[in-house]
Structure 1
């Protein structure tokens, strides 16, 4: 029950071990016997938890006795004045909290709430509940037997529980706190989204840097590849030129030699004929 739910309302009579020390009406704190009698109970939790829900569900139907033990073992720190509820105490456990107080006649009102239900709102509810309840049942409460006022008290207990079910509707501070919590939740969501966007931006920036580095590496490699290709092209050109020149040399040299030989033979023939002609 770590929530802000109002669970139930209970009414007890604190038992006295003797008359008031002053002899006046009412009971003294020193005369409390440590026992209390359950007069009425209203399980408000069953209204919003559905059938079979109740305060503790079907696991434990004796919640009123458990609260009675809390009140009996640790009664209000000082009974209120006549006609006024006071001596409020708050008992907190791992699952819920019990808030209770009593008047000078030992009429004790208690409610059980979730841990997030504001205690000041719970005390305001008990204070508001006390006036109409004491007006209707104060005399009966002095002699009523166990659980005998539950049916009679149901209307007034249910009305107050319904009114105080949502603490933000009756307590401006709770309403303001609820708005602050809503704003905080929104701010936290915004901050989380901003951090996520920042992380994404950083990731994009990192990827952009990586891409830039890869582009630089690629550009450098492309330049190196161009140089290598240029060198290969020059080598191939030189080889081709050498081959062409070699082929031309192989073809032309014999032709030139033959032409020279033929020319030389022609001159010798003409000389020989000239010599014959002169003779």
Structure 2
């Protein structure tokens, strides 16, 4: 229960025996009265085991002490005649504000009930002093309204929360930008792979065309090397036959003539 709630106010009379007498209590949060009726006794044990520091000046409250537990804190002080005022708050409620409340409350309370407090029995002033305790609890319920430092801390906390939200948003945007950049790089790599694939296919086609041309040239060359001599030889043979036939025809004509 770590919060800044003002829970309740209590008034004790410190006895020389060491056991304080509960004179009045006001449950400002309306939580302890139903859930834990012994909270006033618990605070009385704390005050009795560790009483406020000595106060030499009359008519003032002092010797303040702050005792914290896992759930709340108790702030209390007393005057020189043993009138002790205490408050229970959440752990985040500023102890300096609680001390300020006790100091502010002490004067009207001691003026109205100081004499009765010296001889009052247990809970004798609970109903009588309910209004004054209620008024001061309401006044100090929101510590930021009576404590400039608390108000400043509240603003600082608000700024911190806003900054944390802004940082979280920036990190989220950065992450999204990184994801987009990564996706863009992947697309670029895919485009480069496709381009290289096209270039490779084009190079292979060019190589295939070159090889076809070279093979065709070689085949034509080989054919020319083989066929040209044969053609020339055939032409010479054909010319020889024509010459022989012409000679034979001439000789035959001479014979006949």
Q: How does 1:191-230 map to 2 (within 5 A)?
A: 191-194=167-170, 227-230=203-206
User: Is contact 1:15-1:37 (8 Å) kept?
Assistant: yes
Q: How does 1:127-146 map to 2 (within 5 A)?
A: 127-146=103-122
- When normalised by structure 1's length, the TM-score is 0.74
User: Is contact 1:80-1:86 (8 Å) kept?
Assistant: no
Structure 2: 5+ residue stretches without partners: none
User: Is contact 2:27-2:33 (8 Å) kept?
Assistant: no
- When normalised by structure 2's length, the TM-score is 0.80
For residues 152 and 254 of structure 2, the distance between their equivalents in structure 1, rounded to whole angstroms, comes to 147
1:231 is matched with which residue?
Answer: 207
For residues 26 and 202 of structure 2, the distance between their equivalents in structure 1, rounded to whole angstroms, comes to 91
Structure 1 position 82, deviation (Å): 2.8
Q: How does 1:244-263 map to 2 (within 5 A)?
A: 261-263=237-239
2:10 is matched with which residue?
Answer: 10
Structure 1 position 230, deviation (Å): 3.2
Cα RMSD after superposing both structures: 3.6
1:41 matched to 2:17? The reply is no
Give the secondary-structure state (helix, strand or coil) at the position aligned to 2:63: strand
Structure 1 position 34, deviation (Å): 1.2
For residues 240 and 61 of structure 1, the distance between their equivalents in structure 2, rounded to whole angstroms, comes to 112
Structure 1 position 100, deviation (Å): 0.5
For residues 61 and 162 of structure 1, the distance between their equivalents in structure 2, rounded to whole angstroms, comes to 22
Q: Over residues 127-186 of structure 1, what are the superposed CA-to-partner deviations in whole Å (9 max), with x where a residue is unaligned?
A: 111122222222222222212322222222222111111111111121112222322333
1:67 matched to 2:63? The reply is no
For residues 253 and 200 of structure 2, the distance between their equivalents in structure 1, rounded to whole angstroms, comes to 78
User: Is contact 1:9-1:110 (8 Å) kept?
Assistant: yes
1:154 matched to 2:130? The reply is yes
For residues 62 and 121 of structure 2, the distance between their equivalents in structure 1, rounded to whole angstroms, comes to 24
Summarize the Cα distance change of 1:42–1:251 in structure 2 as closer, same or farther, 3 Å threshold: farther
Among 70, 77, 87, the residue aligned to 2:53: 77
